[in-house]
Amino acid sequence: MTRILAACLLAAACGTSGSAGDGGDGTGLGTPDSPLPQGADKGPYQVTTKVDLTVEAVLPPQAELVVQTLRDFSNNPARTLIDLAGQEGVPAVATLYDALPSQLTDKLEGWINTEVEKVQIDGQPITVWAGNFAGVADTAFSQFDVDSTLAIDDATSTHTLTMLDFTPTGVLNVKIPISGLASDILTQHPSIVVNEGGAFSVGDQAFGLLFGEYAWNAVNAACKAEFGYDIRGTLGHAINCAGIAHTIANKCVLGVCVGHESLVDEICEGGLDAVVNVMHDRFAQLNLEALHYASGTAQLVDDDGDGVADRIVDGTWDAQMNLGLGLRHTPATFTATR
């Protein structure tokens, strides 16, 4: 027998004491074999939704674009720094290139690359580190858990997103609280249906979540945990722009020297800023315009025989996400405890 939850059923469930029967209200619900959910007055369920974007290749092309800047830096740091600094409007780029003859500007990239490639992070050349860390950042878009609370009252519920957990990647050991950034829609009120035998279903929900921003925070937190600084800080701490600028300023061809030490320093610092800013902007492009749970089905489990479900297991969301390419089916499962 399928029915919409009512407050009286929740009250009846609390008094079944594990006895067989119909829970005292003729519904057949509120027993150890057909438990009811816990009412909101007793507190919410803690829900964990597991999302795996690798199953149906929902994201890889976009995710790769996000970290392309780091990969470019790993292949040719000087060109990446100079090009991005120019694109970001760092005036020193045009000033330096206007001031130098071609025999110097033609060699500038090579000289900068030689100096940058001497730099190491955690025992690795920084170019190798950047390529490897791009792979770490890429994993933020592969697997993650969405933690939430589900409080059930009458025929509806209050479902609120609380945390993004990136530890399922096996690479990012980071959990980021969902704090409610502008444009986030974190709470929905789906209908609840309970069947005999503990079958349980949840109605339509549509969240909005700035996932790209949270993923960016997660990647920076992982970087800080390992190296003591966020991405920009790690790059800046490893690359001594002032030292590189001093070395480059003293490079000469046929008696003509680069000079302009302060301009080279500005290009280096501005280029590092630009690398990080471009990455951040690309992460932000993957904000979830929609996280849509069209429906959810699961099983209520009563562990202590009081007729009230202690756990919700075997949950499956009919889920879709919009990451800028329209709504796409997204594999998602869930469990809950109280």
Q: Determine whether 123 is exposed, middle or buried from the number of CB atoms within 10 Å of its CB (0-12, 13-18, 19+).
A: exposed
pLDDT over 90 (residue 27): no
pLDDT over 80 (residue 187): yes
* Over residues 208-226, mean pLDDT: 91
Q: Please report the pLDDT score of residue 287 as a whole number.
A: 72
Arithmetic mean of pLDDT over the chain = 87
| Contact criterion met (CB below 8 Å) for 84 and 69 | yes
Owner of token pair 């003509």: 256
* Over residues 92-102, mean pLDDT: 96
- pLDDT tens for 141-159 read 788 999 999 999 876 799 9
pLDDT over 80 (residue 65): no
Owner of token pair 């009120």: 189
What whole-number distance in Å separates Cα of residue 64 and Cα of residue 71?
Answer: 9
Residue 124: CB partners within 8 Å, gap ≥ 6? 132
pLDDT over 70 (residue 26): no
According to DSSP, residue 275 is labeled H
Q: Please report the pLDDT score of residue 28 as a whole number.
A: 64
pLDDT over 80 (residue 76): yes
Confidence at 181, pLDDT banded by 50, 70, 90? confident
Least confident of 3-12, 34-43, 130-139, 205-214: 3-12
> How distant, in Å, are the alpha carbons of 30, 145, 262 from that of 243?
73, 43, 11
Confidence at 23, pLDDT banded by 50, 70, 90? very low
Least confident of 23-27, 95-99, 224-228, 320-324: 23-27
Least confident of 200-214, 266-280, 295-309, 322-336: 322-336
Residue 311: φ, ψ to 5°: -140, 155
Residue 119: CB partners within 8 Å, gap ≥ 6? 125, 126, 238, 239, 240
Residue 28 — left, alpha, or beta (φ > 0 → left; ψ -120 to 50 → alpha)?
left
Confidence at 55, pLDDT banded by 50, 70, 90? low
Least Cα distance to 42 among 299, 306, 298 occurs for 306
Q: Please report the pLDDT score of residue 18 as a whole number.
A: 32
pLDDT over 50 (residue 24): no
Dihedral sign, Cα of residue 113, residue 119, residue 124, residue 129: negative
Residue type, position 298, single letter: A
Q: What is the pTM of this model?
A: 0.84
pLDDT over 80 (residue 54): no
